[in-house]
Amino acid sequence: MTRFVLISDSTLSYDYRNFPLLDFLPCSPSRAIPESIYRFLKGPPPLAGPNGELINAPYSLRKLEAALLKKYQRHEVVVAHDDYLSNFIKDDTEVIGVTTMDPLGIGPTTMSYYALMGGEMDAWVRRDWDALIDKVNRARRGTKAKLMVGGPGVWEFTILRDEIEKYNFDFIFQGEADDIAVELFSEISSGNIDPSIFFRGYMSYDDHFRKILKKDDLFIARGTSLSAYPKLDEIPQIVGPSTKGMVEVMRGCGVGCDFCEVTLRPLRYYSPERVAAEVAINASAGNRNAWLHSDEIFGYMHGNMFEPNEDAITDLFRTVMSVDGVESSNPTHGRISIPAGYPELIEKLSVILRAGPRNWIGVQTGVETGSDSLAKRHMPNKTLPLKIGPDGSWQEIVWQGVYNETRYYWRPAFTIQVGQEGETEDDYWDTISMINKLSNSYVDGRPFEFTITPLVNVPLGRIKSKNLNRGMLTKEQLAVYYASYLHLAKMAIRDGLMDTRGKFFSRLGTGALVSAGGFMMLKYVERLASKAGVDIEKVKRYSVPATGEIHTLAAMARA
């Protein structure tokens, strides 16, 4: 008897040919990328076990599974592959739990593509979500199984509330559930939801980023009698392998950027031994890379003024790399000020991680802007323990960070935001200046390695009105997009084939598609920007020195 069937949004369980940034592929509009190319770049479907279980499952599902196994037996809880739902969803199934990240396609990256391409809200991520829920509803037809969705994408259902009736959800759960999963699933199953534990509604934010609660019977959230988040010792250890070998090392951040929700969550750090125990589960299933998730790895057990705790960070990675079967590891996110100010830490980590020309350490970094005034206004602590002013301009800090990262074989994937509150024309040109300088810089004769993805802040009112046609981006914002795609096309051509993994012909196919895609995207943005009146030649030349190359911080500051 399978009481509880756990399923992943299918876009979260593919490996996207393990190519950097291809994980964002489902965010693209479906009419812009033909289905055959989309399916090829997604890579083969995730592996299924003999009964149809998912072999590697998204980490959040693994946590939920582990939490339920504290009370229920192994045969009562399954993480199912969505091609084999009928093997598990039967008359006695009580609850189907589905996790999702960007179900309706209104996440920041998806929005950025709409801003460029306009049209209907038809991103691949939404098409795949609709197909999955259709499949789940067909599988549960005629059974008493209730359908509950959860995960970080739940906020989208609160925004487009009038569009979700068609999915026939019984409940939408919002929040972290590690400590209350047993109560949640058993009460949903019985239909007796205890109001002293659960709130029937959801949490949102007002215009001043203060939490507010909204009543809505379709939603369930943690009640006010509970702590708002589970404590560290209430979070269980996963019992099965996770997609891409990802495990968590901490929750929360605390740096305090004013646009970021993560910073409102309490800080909870896992010990290196605890992280290693989960990595060992992945390694024993054949996952040779340990992907360490946090929203800010350099904040791991940080010291005063967000000074990096070098011993704790190196100990963490050393412990992970000593796990049997682990060959490589990298963090998910980290801020740039630490590579800028602590090159010896990056060098030490590179030795531990065996970084080199065939093993770049990828890390996502929100660099957000090239403007000092915007950085000080929206993310004053992101540079800590460095300070804008005494330690250089924001651009100089970023430049020094990428210099040290490239030197020690780290490759940041930057995001920048356009449309921030108070952003001026000068701020946009500062961002273009930063991108161009980085794109033309070298260390030890090698070009700086980084990608840059522009994101647009779309007001919620505009999302609700679905007014997402072209024309969302101003002339200056298009200029920033153009500078970004100019660099991305350069990277795609330079690294397209080198960064692919697997068999020769699939590498060739992926490399060729990525390189061609980068070039086509550049030409598309160029046409759009020219039409909007952007001076393309000015963007190309802006802050690029006459020699075309920057090798030192002083030269970068002069350019």
Name the residues that contact ligand SF4, by CB under 6 A.
253, 255-257, 260, 262-263, 295-296, 335, 366, 379, 382
* Closest C-alpha to 85, from 147, 26, 35, 34: 147
The least CB distance from residue 367 to ligand SF4, in Å, is 10
Q: How is residue 363 written in tokens?
A: 């890390």
Nearer residue to ligand SF4 within complex by CB, 238 or 297: 297
The least CB distance from residue 161 to ligand SF4, in Å, is 26
Nearer residue to ligand SF4 within complex by CB, 139 or 257: 257
The least CB distance from residue 274 to ligand SF4, in Å, is 21
Q: How is residue 423 written in tokens?
A: 């952003």
Nearer residue to ligand SF4 within complex by CB, 18 or 381: 381
Nearer residue to ligand SF4 within complex by CB, 169 or 394: 394
Nearer residue to ligand SF4 within complex by CB, 235 or 297: 297
Please, what's the b/e burial string for 522-541 (b: 16 or more CB within 10 A of its CB; e: otherwise)? Answer: beebbebbeebebeeeebee
Q: How many CB atoms are closer than 10 A to CB 441? A: 23
DSSP-assigned letter for residue 119: S
Nearer residue to ligand SF4 within complex by CB, 379 or 514: 379
The least CB distance from residue 152 to ligand SF4, in Å, is 13
- Confirm if 553 and 448 have CB atoms less than 8 A apart: no
Q: Which helix (H) or strand (E) holds 361?
A: strand 361-368
CA distance 178 to 474: 43
Nearer residue to ligand SF4 within complex by CB, 89 or 374: 374
- Confirm if 267 and 214 have CB atoms less than 8 A apart: no
Q: How is residue 466 written in tokens?
A: 């679905």
Nearer residue to ligand SF4 within complex by CB, 140 or 378: 378
430 CB burial (10 A radius; 0-12, 13-18, 19+): buried
Q: How many CB atoms are closer than 10 A to CB 80? A: 27
Q: How is residue 244 written in tokens?
A: 């891409």
Please, what's the b/e burial string for 327-344 (b: 16 or more CB within 10 A of its CB; e: otherwise)? Answer: ebbbbbbbbbbbbbbbbe
Structure-derived torsion over alpha carbons of residues 541, 543, 547, 552, reported in degrees to the nearest 10: -150
The least CB distance from residue 386 to ligand SF4, in Å, is 14
CA distance 83 to 102: 21
Nearer residue to ligand SF4 within complex by CB, 362 or 502: 362
The least CB distance from residue 339 to ligand SF4, in Å, is 14
The least CB distance from residue 265 to ligand SF4, in Å, is 10
Residue type, 19: F
Nearer residue to ligand SF4 within complex by CB, 121 or 262: 262
Residue by residue, DSSP assigns 372-416 as HHHHHHH-TTTTTTS-TBTTB-HHHHHHHHHHHHHHTTEEEEEEE
- Confirm if 73 and 1 have CB atoms less than 8 A apart: no
The least CB distance from residue 312 to ligand SF4, in Å, is 17
Nearer residue to ligand SF4 within complex by CB, 63 or 333: 333
Counting other chains too, the contacts that 18-21 makes at CB distance below 8 Å and 24 or more residues apart are 18/43, 18/244, 18/500, 18/501, 18/502, 19/499, 19/500, 19/501, 19/510, 19/514, 20/362, 20/411, 20/413, 20/451, 20/499, 21/413, 21/451, 21/453
The least CB distance from residue 155 to ligand SF4, in Å, is 16
The least CB distance from residue 396 to ligand SF4, in Å, is 19
The least CB distance from residue 17 to ligand SF4, in Å, is 28
Q: Which helix (H) or strand (E) holds 518?
A: helix 504-531
Nearer residue to ligand SF4 within complex by CB, 256 or 343: 256
The least CB distance from residue 254 to ligand SF4, in Å, is 7
